[in-house]
Structure 1
Amino acid sequence: MKEFSGRLKQAADTLQLTLSDAQQEALLAYLSQLQRWNRTYNLTAIRDPSQMLVQHVFDSMSIVMRLRDATKDHVASGKQVSVLDVGSGAGLPGTIIAILEPDWRVSCVDAVEKKTAFIRQIAGVLGLSNLQALHNRIEMLQEMNATIVTSRAFASLADFADLAGKHVAQDGWLVAMKGRIPDDEISELQKKADWRVERIDPVVVPELDAQRCLIWLKQDQGTL
């Protein structure tokens, strides 16, 4: 995977992320492990490692600065940032967040055991003590009280809020990674009283010619 080092560094520069040598090595090691496990366990439909780099690693990296900005007051006040990645699959974006934010506590939950087994393996191989994998359905999971509950292609906004909303801390967010702005999903969500779209951030993924956005959901104060 060393052949991807230059592209990874350029992508990080584009996203205004500063990578240590150890973080760069960890991201490439994750990609190598994903490719190897995918041959046997079919963790992702993407087979080509170059496409994995862009559509999985760069895509996950693209939201990190947004998350940092949103949680800077938590960090300034001495609170630990906790992230719950719902329907994490092969640990995306949770594992990438854990690599880039070693002081954050990241939990990846998925109902498919082989996927959480992969995340546990990655946490061990890369020495990510801040990363844990939870084999469970999100609706069966004990409340996590997370600063950020995120998902990537997990469910509609309304279903995401219904299933994962209970895991958000009072001052936290639901954050959904989406492609184009899902107007129909937003309309469906607006019919519910408890969650609202706070803002929508456009996201640029290096080397990917496709629309991406990050949708921030807040719980209405009247429902707290």
Structure 2
Amino acid sequence: MIGDAPFPQFRERLEAALDVLGMPRDRTHVPALLGYLRQLQHWNKAYNLTAIRDPGKMLVQHVFDSLAIVPELRARWPRPGLRVADMGSGAGLPGIILAICQPDWSVVCVDAVGKKTAFIRQAAGVLGLKNVRAEHGRIESMDSLRADLVISRAFASLSDFVRVAAHHRASGGVMLAMKGQDPVAERAALEADTGWSVKRAVELSVPEMDARRCLLELDPTEGTP
């Protein structure tokens, strides 16, 4: 486990962001969240995890962005023991952030790039996260993870996400895509190409970010496997 949180200059901003998101109780996770940020900043040069180099920008565009979905997930799926699969996880986003905030959930972070899954294992070990594991491989070729929530962030088009990852849902599982502005063209292609559609769209407000973000819940139409 980590001790004192690194980046003390960001503590106040992170606490304020948690308050804005209606997550004041998650201030207990501030050391772990800043510890993750330290790991990301430290290993980024070697592992090429993100094009963003400035830790202050990483805080907003990666940590705050991932935190923005937590209230919605908690409200919709409040039960403990939830199984989450983060597809094309990259640096563990949003998977590691979800694992920090929900220690009673089980999170699998999947990526085809070995350096990125190595980083996820490294970060989870340093942060003492027992509820995270990383899987290296091609999403479409892996056996089903049988996840309650299959989620992606900046991973692929909606159609491609469904094509490669839908089999990882458990019975009754849900597919969720984090996007920027509501992708109208992708919605149309999703329905035309896959028989799936957007069941629910939630507009997200990311602290300190002047950009539109949304969370889309995808659902197969009747008769679609």
Q: TM-score range with shorter-chain normalisation?
A: over 0.9
Alpha-carbon distance between aligned partners in 2 of 1:161 and 1:217, rounded to the nearest angstrom: 8
The answer to whether the Cα contact below 8 Å between 1:63 and 1:203 also exists between their aligned partners in 2 is yes
Q: CA deviation at 1:218?
A: 1.6
- What amino acid sits opposite 2:128 in the alignment? G
Q: After alignment, is 31-40 or 48-57 more displaced?
A: 31-40
SS at the partner of 1:89?
coil
C-alpha separation in 1, matches of 2:222 and 2:123: 39
The aligned runs of 1:40-51 (5 Å cut-off) are 40-51=46-57
What is the correspondence of 1:1-40 to structure 2 with a 5 Å cutoff?
Answer: 1-20=7-26, 22-40=28-46
Counterpart AA for 1:186: R
Shift of 1:8: 0.3
Whether 2:172 is the aligned partner of 1:166: answer no
The Cα offsets for residues 136-166 of structure 1, whole Å up to 9 and x where unpaired, read as 1101111011111110111000110111011
Q: Within 1, Cα distance between the matches of 2:49 and 2:129?
A: 20
| TM-score, scaled relative to structure 2 | 0.94
Give the letter for the 1:96 counterpart: I
Q: Equivalent residue for 2:133?
A: 132
Give the superposition deviation at 1:4: 0.3
Normalised by the size of structure 1, how large is the TM-score? 0.94
Q: What displacement does 1:22 show?
A: 4.5
> Match for 1:5: what amino acid?
R
Q: Percent identity?
A: 53
- Structure 2: gaps of 5 or more residues: 1-6
User: Once the 2 structures are TM-superposed, how far is the Cα of residue 181 of structure 1 from its aligned partner?
Assistant: 0.7
* Residues 157-196 of structure 1: pairs in structure 2 closer than 5 A: 157-192=158-193, 194-196=195-197
1:20 is displaced (CA, Å) by 4.7
Deviations 1:179-211 (A, max 9, x none): 011111000011145422101100000000000
* Structure 1 SS opposite 2:93: coil
Unpaired runs of 5+ in structure 1? none
**What amino acid maps onto 1:82 in structure 2?**
R
**2:61 counterpart of 1:60:** no
Aligned residue type for 2:112: A
Structure 1 segment 52-131 matched on structure 2, within 5 A: 52-72=58-78, 75=79, 80-131=81-132
**CA–CA separation in structure 2 for the residues paired with 1:189 and 1:20:** 36
The number of residue pairs the alignment matches comes to 219
Paired residues for 1:136-151 under 5 Å: 136-151=137-152
Is contact 1:172-1:218 (8 Å) kept? no
Structure 1 residues 11 and 155: alpha-carbon distance in aligned structure 2, compared to 1, 3 A threshold: same
The answer to whether the Cα contact below 8 Å between 1:193 and 1:220 also exists between their aligned partners in 2 is: no
Given that 2:26 and 2:101 are in contact with CA atoms closer than 8 Å, whether structure 1 keeps it comes out as: no
* CA root-mean-square deviation: 1.3
CA contact (8 A) 2:159 2:194 kept: no
3-state DSSP class of the match of 1:222?
Answer: coil
> How far apart, CA to CA, are the structure 1 residues paired with 2:93 and 2:60?
12
